[in-house]
Amino acid sequence: MRKRMSGLHSAHCRAAPSPAIIPAMEFLPYRKILRPLLFAIDPETVHHLAMGALRLGGRALRPLAPTNDPRLARTVFGVNFPNPVGLAAGFDKNADALPAWETLGFGFVEAGTITARAQPGNPRPRIFRVPEYQGLINRLGFNNDGADAIAAHLEKLKERDAWPRIPVGINIGKSKVTPLEEANADYLLSFQRLQHFGDYFVLNVSSPNTPGLRALQDRAALDSLIRDIQSRNTLGRPVLVKIAPDLEWDAIEEIIGLAHEHRLAGLIATNTTIDQGALPAQLRRQGGLSGAPVRARSTEIVRFITARSEIPVIAVGGIMTADDALEKFDAGAALVQLYTGFIYEGPRLVREINRALLARAI
């Protein structure tokens, strides 16, 4: 197993647009009190309230950020991570709350998915909880403010000395209105506009909620996209590709081959799944399923990649407990990311994972 990092205290990320409530939530039982209250509200409304609180309180609460145990620190693709538990793309789409995530104990954050053009995403409702299965279905559709607006916001963060002390990844995708044959130019616009801000970049070619996007995982299309991005990667930023859990093994092998050929920094396994067979028919919705139902498949893919390559893998998918995270590390993951597990378990899950890793190190 590879070395990792830690994060102990945290402040909870939910409800009320006042930053003062975030540290107070540290002392409240998330699972028994806060989660039932929050789950009684529309999930997208809760998300906006949480992001409002984090945006207002992130920098002010920096003194509450946990001290990371150096035994868990690691360097992956040339980036130093204070702990191996990150926030997955999709939560902080516009990089609104970057200063807050280290306060919650995360070792890194991945902003986005960001597209070249601003877009509203798909019509609401577009997020559906499936608590009986610890799952979440979303069909958000890359709703974000666009690369130009987000780059301007990130520049202001740097000017105000509010930039987070943890690594920031930037996840980019194709604008919905851009034809598939013009996808490369669309990704390049985002990459070049944001290149100065990200510690690493992720090409999201695997969301099921932008029509035709997953066709970019095909060998020829992905080869062309990676080639164009790397040719403009003048700052030498680590570039990764995020893949779907629904790929066949031969397709994953082709992507591993492309990763070696183009010297990708790593792969992220996996995005949400379109396979909702684990759910009864009445709970299924159009969109991508995340959470516990995708855990086993995600781990299987991580193990498949790491058995065939030394390329670093960031594992995401179904990490609802510390044991789920340890399963990913045992499969060969270099880092892990949370999304649905964070929604169901709160920031405490970050601490539990880091403590489990520390216990192994003793």
pLDDT, tens digit (0-9, with 9 covering 90-100), for 22-55: 443 444 577 778 888 889 899 999 999 888 888 8
Residue 2, domain member (yes or no) = no
254-278: b or e for each residue (b if 16 or more CB lie within 10 Å)? bbbebbeebebbbbbbbbbbeebeb
| For residues 202-213, average pLDDT | 92
Instruction: Using alpha carbons, list the distances in angstroms from residue 285 to 45, 125, 280, 281, 291.
Output: 19, 11, 11, 9, 15
How many domains is the chain built from? 1
From 6, 10, 190, 207, the catalytic residue: 207
Residue 13, domain member (yes or no) = no
Q: What percent of the chain has pLDDT over 70?
A: 90
Residue 301, domain member (yes or no) = yes
311-356: pLDDT as tens digits: 999 999 999 999 999 999 999 999 999 999 999 999 899 999 999 9
108-147: pLDDT as tens digits: 999 999 999 999 999 999 999 999 999 999 999 999 999 9
| For residues 297-321, average pLDDT | 98
Residue 281, domain member (yes or no) = yes
Residue 19: pLDDT over 60 = no
Q: Is 249 helix (H, G, I), strand (E, B) or coil?
A: helix
Residue 115, domain member (yes or no) = yes
Q: Please say if 207 is a catalytic residue.
A: yes
Residue 66: pLDDT over 60 = yes
Decide: 259 and 241 in contact? Cβ < 8 Å. yes
Residue 346 one-letter amino acid: G
Question: How far does Cα 16 stand from its chain's mean position?
Answer: 23
Q: Could you give the CA distance from residue 208 to residue 13 in angstroms, rounded to a whole number?
A: 27
Q: Which residue in the block uniquely carries the two structure tokens 């680590």? A: 238
Residue 212: pLDDT over 80 = yes
Residue 156, domain member (yes or no) = yes
Residue among 56, 11, 57, 15 nearest 39 (CA): 15
Q: Could you give the CA distance from residue 335 to residue 332 in angstroms, rounded to a whole number?
A: 9
Backbone angles phi, psi at 5, to 5 degrees: -135, -170
Residue 80's domain comprises 21-361
Q: Domain containing 59 — which CATH number? A: 3.20.20.70
Residue 294, domain member (yes or no) = yes
Residues 6+ apart with CB under 8 A from 151: 193, 194, 197
Intra-chain end-to-end CA distance of the chain, in Å:
14
Residue 245: pLDDT over 80 = yes
Residue 116, domain member (yes or no) = yes
